[in-house]
Amino acid sequence: MADQLTDDQISEFKEAFSLFDKDGDGCITTKELGTVMRSLGQNPTEAELQDMINEVDADGNGTIDFPEFLNLMARKMKDTDSEEELKEAFRVFDKDQNGFISAAELRHVMTNLGEKLTDEEVDEMIREADVDGDGQINYEEFVKVMMANHVWECASKLIKKRKKKKKKKKKKKTKNAKRNEKELIQHNPSQPESHRVPSRLNLLCHRSHSCSIL
Domain harbouring 40, CATH code: 1.10.238.10
Phi, psi for 177 (deg, rounded to 5): -65, -40
| Alpha-carbon gap, residue 10 to 171, rounded angstroms | 32
Reported as a pLDDT band with limits 50, 70 and 90, residue 209 is very low
To which H or E segment does residue 150 belong? none
Reported as a pLDDT band with limits 50, 70 and 90, residue 17 is confident
pLDDT for 80 equals 56
Reported as a pLDDT band with limits 50, 70 and 90, residue 69 is confident
What SS3 string covers 33-100? HHHHHHHCCCCCCHHHHHHHHHHHCCCCCCEEEHHHHHHHHHHHHHHHHHHHHHHHHHHHHCCCCCCC
Selection from 176, 171, 126, 167 nearest residue 149 by Cα: 126
Of the three residues 46, 79, 112, the one that is the final residue of a domain is: 79
- Would residue 120 count as lying in a domain? yes
Scored b (16 or more CB within 10 A) or e, 140-153 reads ebbbebbeebebbe
- Would residue 112 count as lying in a domain? yes
pLDDT for 93 equals 75
pLDDT at 101 over 70: yes
Of the three residues 36, 54, 79, the one that is the final residue of a domain is: 79
Reported as a pLDDT band with limits 50, 70 and 90, residue 72 is confident
Q: Which residue has the higher pLDDT, 171 or 59?
A: 59
Phi, psi for 89 (deg, rounded to 5): -60, -45
pLDDT at 75 over 70: yes
Give residues with Cβ within 8 angstroms of 88, minimum separation 6: 159
Residue 72's domain comprises 7-79
Question: Span 184-204, mean pLDDT?
Answer: 48
| Alpha-carbon gap, residue 204 to 214, rounded angstroms | 16
* CA angle (37 as vertex; 32, 40 as ends), nearest 5: 135
69 and 98 both lie in a single domain:
no
Give residues with Cβ within 8 angstroms of 20, minimum separation 6: 28, 32, 35, 36
pLDDT at 18 over 80: yes
73 and 119 both lie in a single domain:
no
Tally of structural domains, the chain: 2
Lowest mean pLDDT among 1-15, 62-76, 157-171, 198-212: 198-212
